[in-house]
């Protein structure tokens, strides 16, 4: 298991352009995740009867609860990244404000960690959801073959 060092310092390479590009990339990823979550909602609706079957109920309930929580978190992160992007002005306004610039860089560092954690949890959920739906589809095919 890898150890993550949360005390890393990024100030050396964090300039306004790098932070702007990172923010734009995060926003793009989060918008894609948001659209993908709409697809997951449709997928859940399509397989509702199979998901509430006693065999899959516990797993599906947990996954759907996690999906709902991540949908709310996605919206929150989109808002945070947009706000962060608007606050970039402190870095490019030409006024020397060392305290504000340090705070902005610290906020950016926190967003780096938060986005990394969010994407890791999201990908894990996505794999679990697809595995569950795949098993449900296989079971359905097997039942049809036996009939």
Number of H helices, E strands in the chain: 5, 0
* pTM of the predicted model over 0.85: no
Q: How far apart are CA 131 and CA 141, in angstroms?
A: 15
pLDDT single digits (tens) 55-68: 888 889 999 999 99
Intra-chain end-to-end CA distance of the chain, in Å:
47
pLDDT single digits (tens) 64-111: 999 999 999 999 999 999 999 998 887 777 777 888 888 988 999 999
Residues contacting 128, CB < 8 A, separation 6+ = 63
Q: What are phi and psi of 7, to 5 degrees?
A: -95, 15
CA 147 to chain centre: 42
């Amino acid at each position: 298991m890898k150890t993550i060092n949360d005390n890393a310092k990024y100030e050396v390479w964090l300039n306004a352009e790098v932070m702007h590009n990172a923010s734009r990339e995060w926003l793009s990823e989060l918008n894609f995740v948001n659209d993908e979550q709409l697809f997951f909602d449709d997928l859940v609706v399509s397989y509702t009867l199979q998901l509430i079957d006693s065999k899959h109920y516990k797993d599906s309930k947990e996954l759907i609860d996690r999906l709902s929580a991540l949908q709310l978190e996605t919206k929150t992160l989109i808002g945070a990244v947009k706000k962060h992007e608007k606050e970039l002005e402190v870095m490019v306004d030409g006024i020397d404000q060392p305290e504000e610039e340090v705070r902005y860089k610290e906020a950016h560092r926190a967003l780096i960690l938060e986005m990394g954690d969010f994407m890791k949890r999201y990908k894990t959920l996505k794999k679990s959801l697809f595995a569950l739906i795949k098993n449900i589809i296989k079971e359905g095919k097997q039942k049809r073959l036996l009939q």
